[in-house]
Structure 1
Amino acid sequence: MTAAPAPGVAGRLSFLDRYLAVWILVAMAAGLGLGRLVPGLGDALAKVTVTGVSLPIALGLLAMMYPVLAKVRYDRLDTVTRDRRLLIPSLVLNWLIGPAVMSALAWLFLPDLPEYRTGLIIVGLARCIAMVIIWNDLACGDREAAAVLVALNSVFQVLAFGLLGWFYLDLLPRWLGLGDGQGLDVSVWHIALNVLVFLGIPLVAGFLTRRLGERARGRTWYETKLIPRIGPYALYGLLFTIVVLFALQGDAITSRPVDVARIALPLLVYFAVLWTGSMALGRAVGLDHPRATTLAFTAAGNNFELAIAVAIATFGATSGQALAGVVGPLIEVPVLIALVHVALAARRYFPRAATEPSPDGTDAARA
C-alpha cells in the first residue's frame, strides 16, 4: 500500500490509493443508503456479534489490520521502546489530555443533552487500537512505532477504561456540582476480550506471516513480492467496514440530522485540536516526521468499536449515548483521511531521513 500524494509520486500510486478519499466517501454514502433503504438490514447485520461488535464489522477490522501489521519489522521494535520522547508524550496525550479534552468539549457543546454528552465522553475514553493503523500507514508514519503505541494503548485500555469512566461520568460531575453523574457498567474482561480479538489476532497473524515468510524466502522477497500482494486488502477491509458500519446505523443518522450536527461539532474540534497539538508537540520534542505522525494519529484516533459496544451494553441500542458513538466514525473517517494529506504536506517542516520520500516526490514512493 502506497501513500504519498505529492505530484511526483501520484503517478506511481494505484487507482485505489490515488482516489482513496473518494472511495471512503462513496462507502459512507453507500452504507447510509443501504441502512435507510433496505428494511431490517441493520438488525440482520447486528444479529451476530463478536465482543459486542457486529460480526461483519469484526471481520472487516481484522482484514483491515492484518496486512499493515504484516508490514511491521518486529526486529526493530526495540528502537521504539527506548524512545522516551515518543512513549511519554503518547501516554500523556492518550490517557490524560485526550479524555480531558473530549469531556470538556462535551460539556461545552452539549450542556443540555446529557445522553449525547455521555456518549461523546465514552468515545474520548476509548483510545484507538484499530483503524489508526491504517491512517498512520497512509500518512507514512512509523509502522514499528504504531505497533508499540497501539499495544501500550491496549494495555492501558484494559486497566484504565472503567476507572476513567467512573471519574469523568460520575465523580467529576458531582465534584463540580454539575449533577449526580452516571455510572458506566463495563467489565474489564469485556475490554480485554475486545483488545485480544481486534489487536491480538491480526498482530499474531502479521508477526507469523513475516517470521515464516522471511525464514522461507528472505526479507527482500517478503517486502518486494509478498507485501505488495496482501497490502491492498487493508484498504478493501477498510471500505467494507465503513459500508457495514454505516449500514447498521443509516436510519438513526439520517433521521436525526440536527442531533448529528450537534454531536459532530465537538468531535470536529477534538480531532483538529488533538491531532494538530500532538503533531506540533512531536516536532517540538525532536521527533522525526514518521514518529511525530504516529504520535498525532494515535492520540487523535478513537476506538469507536469499543465505544459503541459499551454504549449499547450500558444504555441500549436506541439510546442517545449509542447514537453519539455511531456519529464518532461518521466524523472521524473523513477528518482523519484529510489529516493524512496534511501530515504528508507537513514533511517539509521536519528533518528528512535518508529512507523517507521527499515532499516533492523525487524519492521512491513508500511501499
Structure 2
Amino acid sequence: MKKTNGIGFFEKNLTFWVLICMVIGIFIGKYFPSIPEWLGKFEFYNVSIPTTILLWIMIYPMMLKIDFKSIKDIGKNPKGLFITWFVNWIIKPLSMYLISSLFFFIIYKGFINKELASEYLAGAVLLGAAPCTAMVFVWSKLTRGDSAYTLVQVASNDLIILIAYIPIVSFLLKVGNINIPWGTLLLSIVLFIVVPLVLSMVTRSIIIKNKGEDYLNKTFIPAFDKYTMMGLLLTLIIIFSFQGQKILDQPVNIILIAIPLIIQTLFIFAITFFMAYLAKLPFSIAAPCSMIGASNFFELSVAVSISLFGLLSGATLTTVVGVLVEVPVMLALVKFANSMENKFNRKW
C-alpha cells in the first residue's frame, strides 16, 4: 500500500472510507433488509460470528507487530511509562465517563432521551478504557518518536488491558446504571485480546525461528495489510446496515456523539503532553507518550460493544463514530506536537 509521509493511503483517508461504508451500509439496510436480518442469525452467546471473524482479521495483524520481549526494557526512562500508565488507566477512563455524561445527559438533554444517552455513554466508556495499540506506531513515526520506546509503551499497555479493561469498564458502566452481562464481557476479552494475542506470539516465535525477524516485519506482516483493510470496511458496512434506519431518523446524532469524543481526545493529549513537558522528557518520548492515550484501540471497543449490546445499539454506533473522528483529529495533534518539538529539546 502506498505510503504518504509515513502513513498509508488508507489510514490517511480513513474518515472518507468510513463515510463511504456508512452510505453503503445504510443503503443495504434500507433496500435490502434481509441481509442484516440473515447476518443477525449467526450469533453465539450474543457474539456476532461474522463480525468476530472480521475483527480477528483486523486485530491479529496488529498484535503481530508487538514484540513482548521488549518488556525487558521497561526500566529504561520509566518516567514516560509512568505518565502513560497513569493517564491511560486512571485519568482517561474517568474523564471519558465525565465528559460523555455531561454531554449526553445534560447538554443534550433536549435532543436525546435517557435510554439513548445511556447507550452512547456505554460506547464512550468502551472507547475510553482502551488505549491505542497499532496506530501509535504510525503517530510515533510521524513525530519522529523513539520506535523502541514506543514498542515498550504499546506492549506494556496491551498486557495491562488483559487485567484492567474488564474491571474499569464494569465499574464505570455500573456507576452509570448500565447493566452488562459479565460472562459476555469476559468472553469478549478472551475472543478479541487473549486469542489473537496468543496466536500472534506463537506466530512471531515460529516465523522468527524459521525465517528471521526481518522477514516477519518486512514481508509477513505487510502481507496482511489488504486483508486488515477489507476486514475493517466490511465490519463497518455490516454495522451501518443494522444502524441505517436510526441514522436516517436522527442524522445529527453522529455529530452529537463526535463532539465529546473529540473534546476527550484533545483533553487527554493536552494533559499528557504537559505532564511529559514537566517531567523533562525528550520529545521523541513525550510525543508518542501523548499519542497513545489520545487515540483509542477502536477495534477492541467495536468488538466488545457488538458482543455486549448488539449491532443495533447506540453503544456500537458510538464506537464507530470513534473510528470516524480518530484519524483527522490525531493528524492535527501530530502537526501540533511537531510544532512544539523545540520546547522539549531545549537545554534545561
TM-score, normalised relative to structure 2:
0.79
1:33-84 deviation line (CA, Å, top 9, x unaligned): 2222212222222221255342222111110011111111221023348532
- Distance verdict in 2 for CA 1:219–1:129, change over 3 Å: farther
- Distance verdict in 2 for CA 1:220–1:330, change over 3 Å: closer
Tell me which residue corresponds to 1:355: none
- Distance verdict in 2 for CA 1:347–1:261, change over 3 Å: closer
Tell me which residue corresponds to 1:358: none
In the alignment, residue 160 of structure 2 is paired with which amino acid?
A: L
- Distance verdict in 2 for CA 1:120–1:151, change over 3 Å: farther
Distance, in Å, in 2 between the alignment partners of 1:29 and 1:222 is 37
Distance, in Å, in 1 between the alignment partners of 2:124 and 2:10 is 31
Tell me which residue corresponds to 1:121: 121
Contact in 2 for aligned 1:133/1:146 (Cα 8 Å): yes
Tell me which residue corresponds to 1:42: 36
Q: Equivalences for 1:29-108 in 2 at 5 Å?
A: 29-80=23-74, 83-108=81-106
In the alignment, residue 100 of structure 1 is paired with which amino acid?
A: L
Contact in 2 for aligned 1:289/1:351 (Cα 8 Å): no
- Distance verdict in 2 for CA 1:300–1:27, change over 3 Å: closer
Distance, in Å, in 2 between the alignment partners of 1:240 and 1:94 is 29
Contact in 1 for aligned 2:22/2:240 (Cα 8 Å): yes
Distance, in Å, in 1 between the alignment partners of 2:271 and 2:298 is 10
Distance, in Å, in 2 between the alignment partners of 1:257 and 1:202 is 35
1:189-217 deviation line (CA, Å, top 9, x unaligned): 32111111011121112111111111112
Contact in 1 for aligned 2:162/2:189 (Cα 8 Å): yes
- What secondary structure does 1:107 align onto? helix
Contact in 2 for aligned 1:132/1:301 (Cα 8 Å): no
Structure 1: stretches of 5+ with no match in the other structure: 170-183, 353-367
- Distance verdict in 2 for CA 1:246–1:283, change over 3 Å: farther
Tell me which residue corresponds to 1:293: 291
1:137-194 deviation line (CA, Å, top 9, x unaligned): 443473442343243234223223333222233xxxxxxxxxxxxxx33232321111
Identify which of 243, 251, 256 aligns with 1:249: 243
Distance, in Å, in 2 between the alignment partners of 1:298 and 1:326 is 15
Tell me which residue corresponds to 2:146: none
Distance, in Å, in 1 between the alignment partners of 2:122 and 2:321 is 16
Identify which of 126, 142, 161 aligns with 2:169: 161
Distance, in Å, in 1 between the alignment partners of 2:99 and 2:298 is 11
Contact in 2 for aligned 1:69/1:147 (Cα 8 Å): no
- Structure 1 residue 341 corresponds to structure 2 residue 338: no
Q: Equivalences for 1:276-291 in 2 at 5 Å?
A: 276-285=270-279, 286=281, 287-291=285-289
Distance, in Å, in 1 between the alignment partners of 2:301 and 2:94 is 16
- Structure 1 residue 329 corresponds to structure 2 residue 319: yes
In the alignment, residue 204 of structure 1 is paired with which amino acid?
A: V
Distance, in Å, in 2 between the alignment partners of 1:134 and 1:32 is 29
1:117-138 deviation line (CA, Å, top 9, x unaligned): 2112212332467794354344
- What secondary structure does 2:180 align onto? coil
Distance, in Å, in 2 between the alignment partners of 1:79 and 1:351 is 27
Tell me which residue corresponds to 2:346: none
Distance, in Å, in 2 between the alignment partners of 1:39 and 1:47 is 13
- Distance verdict in 2 for CA 1:274–1:52, change over 3 Å: farther
Answer with 58-67 or 303-312: which moved more: 303-312
Distance, in Å, in 2 between the alignment partners of 1:341 and 1:58 is 29
Contact in 2 for aligned 1:271/1:335 (Cα 8 Å): no
Contact in 2 for aligned 1:2/1:138 (Cα 8 Å): no
Distance, in Å, in 1 between the alignment partners of 2:137 and 2:233 is 16
- What secondary structure does 2:295 align onto? helix
- Structure 1 residue 152 corresponds to structure 2 residue 160: yes
Identical-pair percentage: 17
Contact in 1 for aligned 2:298/2:319 (Cα 8 Å): no
Structure 2: stretches of 5+ with no match in the other structure: 142-149, 344-348
Distance, in Å, in 2 between the alignment partners of 1:227 and 1:200 is 19
Contact in 2 for aligned 1:31/1:247 (Cα 8 Å): yes
- Distance verdict in 2 for CA 1:331–1:276, change over 3 Å: farther
In the alignment, residue 86 of structure 1 is paired with which amino acid?
A: T
- Distance verdict in 2 for CA 1:236–1:39, change over 3 Å: closer
Contact in 2 for aligned 1:35/1:251 (Cα 8 Å): yes
TM-score, normalised relative to structure 1:
0.75
Q: Equivalences for 1:1-16 in 2 at 5 Å?
A: 5-6=4-5, 16=10
- Distance verdict in 2 for CA 1:159–1:257, change over 3 Å: same
Answer with 50-59 or 256-265: which moved more: 256-265
Distance, in Å, in 2 between the alignment partners of 1:21 and 1:72 is 25
Distance, in Å, in 2 between the alignment partners of 1:245 and 1:343 is 28
CA RMSD of the aligned region, Å?
3.3
1:78-119 deviation line (CA, Å, top 9, x unaligned): 334853232222212233322222222222223352112211
Distance, in Å, in 1 between the alignment partners of 2:290 and 2:224 is 27
